[in-house]
Amino acid sequence: MGNLQGKVAIVTGAGRGIGSHIALKLAAEGAAVVVNDLDEGPAGETANAIVSAGGRAVPVAGNVTEDDFAQRFVDAAVDNFGGLDIIVNNAGYTWDSVIQKMSDEQWDAILDVHLKAPFRILRAAQPVISGLAKSAKAAGEAVPCRKVVNISSVAGLGGNPGQANYAAAKAGVTGLTKTLAKEWGRYNVTVNTVAFGLIQTRLTSTAGDADGSIEIEGREIKVGVNPDLLAQMEMSIPLGRSGSPEDAAGAVYLMCTPESDYISGQTVVCAGGFNI
């Protein structure tokens, strides 16, 4: 019996990287998971891995910025597993440029995926969350503590050259988190942010790697970090290394456990001691 036995979780961007490890971790602790990814293949792979290990999961492919996505995602949790207890807003990518070269398209795309999409998902989840809380109260039962974990970055706390769009979006996540913590406290929901530092993913792999670009809505976007810059960044981390996807998933899991039931409206920095 895991810490999350009987819980139902939805995780965006869970077909690859950090999101996949978050979904697998929550499932290993007993949660049923709705796994989202932009593409059907990766979403299905993560869901199948969970099911093969004895867990419960369903894939929901789609772009989190689509108008109908949020409702479809929330409905998948209720229709397949009968409820909703954990929301992890993880999906995202970077599209960098210094501000004088950044287009409106770049700005809007990053704000949409990192800030507008979580807003829409939380808005779609509110009737479910409030309804479950009211039903428990009407039955004379204790309202279980539900969890929202919004993913941010140290860039949203301290800024980062070339990432005005990303940093602004992630700073906005902090405001969204603090507001929802105050609005949803009456439903016994904790709302927190986990801000990642340098984590090993395809978005932070060294520039020049074979898969050094991603395709989003027909756009090919370069990803990766210059090897020399990456080495310098790692030297600035007190623990002396970049974080693994497992490290990142562990931080999110902490905010989903019963031990964190009285922590809300906070930002937990998962960055190996890096001082912003």
Give the contacts of 91 (CB within 8 A, at least 6 positions apart).
12, 13, 19, 36, 38, 64, 113, 117
Does 237 fall in a domain? no
What integer pLDDT is reported at residue 218 of this predicted model?
75
Does 234 fall in a domain? no
pLDDT digits (tens, 9 = 90+) for 110-133: 999 999 999 999 999 999 999 999
Tokens of 208: 């020049």
Q: Side chain identity at 102, as an amino acid letter?
A: M
Does 150 fall in a domain? yes
pTM metric for this prediction? 0.94
What integer pLDDT is reported at residue 210 of this predicted model?
44
What integer pLDDT is reported at residue 61 of this predicted model?
98
Domain count, the chain: 1
pLDDT digits (tens, 9 = 90+) for 194-229: 999 999 987 666 554 545 677 777 777 766 666 776
Does 70 fall in a domain? yes
Asked if residue 37 lies in contact with residue 46, where contact means CB atoms within 8 angstroms, the answer is yes
Does the structure show a pLDDT above 70 at 269? yes
What integer pLDDT is reported at residue 225 of this predicted model?
65
Asked if residue 153 lies in contact with residue 165, where contact means CB atoms within 8 angstroms, the answer is no
Q: How far apart are CA 70 and CA 117, in angstroms?
A: 8
For residue 114, the enclosing domain spans 8-198+244-270
Q: Which residues does the annotation mark as catalytic? A: 166
Does 172 fall in a domain? yes
pLDDT digits (tens, 9 = 90+) for 144-182: 999 999 999 999 999 999 999 999 999 999 999 999 999
CATH number reported for the structural domain that contains residue 55 in this entry: 3.40.50.720
Q: What angle do CA 67, 9, 249 make, to 5 degrees?
A: 105
What integer pLDDT is reported at residue 123 of this predicted model?
98
Give the contacts of 273 (CB within 8 A, at least 6 positions apart).
237, 238, 239
Integer angstrom CA distances of residue 260 from 92, 148, 195, 267, 268: 25, 12, 17, 13, 12
Tokens of 111: 């704000």
